Amino acid sequence: MTDTPDVTDTPTDTPSDAPTDTSADTSSEPEGAAQGPSEDRKTRFTVLVALGANLLIAVAKAVGGLFAGSPALLSEAAHSVADSLNEVFLLAALRRSRRPADRQHPFGYGKERFFWSLLAAVGIFVMGGCFSFFQAYEAFTQGGAEESKSGFVVGLVVLGVAFLAEGTSLARAVHQVRKQPGEGIGEDPTLRTVLAEDATAVIGVVLAAAGLVLHRTTGHIEWEATASLIIGVLLVFVAYRLGTSARDQLIGEGDPKLHHAIYELLDDQPEIEAVAALHIMRLGMDSTLVAARVDLVPGLESEQLELVSERIKRTVHERWPEADQMFLDVVEAPTGEWRSPAESARAN
C-alpha cells in the first residue's frame, strides 16, 4: 500500500518549508457563505439591548424589593445583576473570538466564544440561582415584615416595567434567531445564552408577580418564598444546559449531521474506494476542522492524486464554507483488494 503525501490546509503564517496548501481558496467564499463579522454585529447589538434592559431593571427590582420587603423581587434583582455580568462576558466573547490566528493559536481564537459562554453559565448558577435559594430559605425560616399597600403597588409597577423591558429584549433575540441561516454549523452560543436569559427573565417576572399577589392576598410570605425557590430552580436548570453545551464545544464536540453529510459526499466520489476515517470539530462560529483519511481506487497517477485531493477539498468547502480547515490523507488501495462498486454490490 503506497501512501501519498498529506494534502493539508496550513495557516497563513506557516514557514516557507511547510507543506503546500492545495485546498480551495477560502478568500473568495461562494455566495451564501457564513458572514461571521456581519452576524457578530447583529449579535453584539442584541447583547447590548439585553445589557441595557438588565441594568435598568436590576436597579428597579432591588429598590422595589427592599421597599416592599419582597424576597421574590430581590431574587429577580439578583437574576438581573447576574444577567448583566453575563452580558459583559458575552461582549468579551464576541471581541476576543475574532482575533486572527497566530503561531501560538494556529486555528484562531474561535473557541473563546465557548469559554466565555461557559463563564456566563457559571454566573447564572452562582449569582442568580444560589441567591434565589438563599432568599427562599430566609423567607421560609424567618418570615418577613407585613407587606404594605404602597410596597405592593411599587413591586407590581417594577415588575410591569421589567416585563416590558425583558420582553423587548427577548423579542429582539428571537427575531435574530429566526433571521439566521438554517444551514449553519451549530448555533451561536452567545445568542443562545441571551435568548435563554431573556426567556428565563420573563418567566421569573411572572413568577415573582404571582408570589407578590398571593402574598398580599393571603398574608402568607411562603408564596413569595416558593416563587423564589422556583426561580432558583429555573436558573440552575438553564445554567446547567448552557454550561453543558459550552463544555461540549470546548472539548471538541462534533456535529453528527455534518459528519454524516461529509461522509456521504466523500463516499460518493468515484475515485474513493472507502472512507477510512473522518473527524470533525468546531473551531468557532464559522470555522470547522475536517480531517479525513480515504482509500482511493488503484491505478491513479501521482498527478491525478493531487488533482483528486484538490477537487474533493474544494467541493467540501463550496458546500460548507465553514469547513475552512480540511486535512485530507489519501491512500491508494492495493490492486488485488479493490473491487468496483458494482462488484461489491453483487458480492453483498
Does a structural domain hold residue 186?
A: yes
pTM of the model: 0.69
CATH number of the domain encompassing residue 259: 3.30.70.1350
DSSP E strand stretches across the chain = 2-3, 7-8, 272-284, 287-296, 325-332
CATH number of the domain encompassing residue 212: 1.20.1510.10
Are 220 and 312 found together in one domain? Answer: no
The pLDDT confidence band at residue 153, using thresholds 50, 70 and 90, is confident
Are 240 and 279 found together in one domain? Answer: no
Does a structural domain hold residue 243?
A: yes
Does a structural domain hold residue 180?
A: yes
Are 265 and 202 found together in one domain? Answer: no
Are 104 and 236 found together in one domain? Answer: yes
Q: Give the chain's domain count.
A: 2
Q: What is the pLDDT of residue 173?
A: 84
Q: How far apart are CA 195 and CA 198, in angstroms?
A: 5
269, amino acid identity: Q
Are 186 and 293 found together in one domain? Answer: no
Does a structural domain hold residue 92?
A: yes
Are 188 and 312 found together in one domain? Answer: no
Does a structural domain hold residue 143?
A: yes
Does a structural domain hold residue 12?
A: no
Contact 287, 326 (CB under 8 A): no
Are 83 and 112 found together in one domain? Answer: yes
Q: Which of 250, 268, 290 is the last residue of a domain?
A: 250
Are 278 and 227 found together in one domain? Answer: no
Contact 106, 11 (CB under 8 A): yes
Q: What is the pLDDT of residue 230?
A: 93
Are 97 and 214 found together in one domain? Answer: yes
Convert the pLDDT of each residue in 222-250 to its tens digit: 898 899 899 899 989 988 998 998 898 88
Least confidently predicted of 20-29, 59-68, 198-207 = 20-29
Convert the pLDDT of each residue in 191-231 to its tens digit: 888 888 889 889 988 998 898 899 888 888 889 889 989 98
Q: Which of 206, 221, 250 is the last residue of a domain?
A: 250
Q: Which of 250, 281, 296 is the last residue of a domain?
A: 250
Rounding to the nearest 10 degrees, give the CA dihedral for residues 184, 185, 190, 192: 80
Are 147 and 295 found together in one domain? Answer: no
Are 133 and 236 found together in one domain? Answer: yes
**Helix axes of 302-319 and 256-267: crossing angle, nearest 10 degrees:** 140
Does a structural domain hold residue 27?
A: no
Query: At 337, is the secondary structure helix, strand, or coil?
Result: coil
Domain range for 207: 36-250
Q: How far apart are CA 344 and CA 270, in angstroms?
A: 14
Convert the pLDDT of each residue in 272-325 to its tens digit: 888 999 999 988 878 889 999 998 888 777 788 888 888 888 999 899 988 888
Are 233 and 300 found together in one domain? Answer: no
Handedness of CA 61, 167, 249, 111 (dihedral sign): negative
Does a structural domain hold residue 17?
A: no
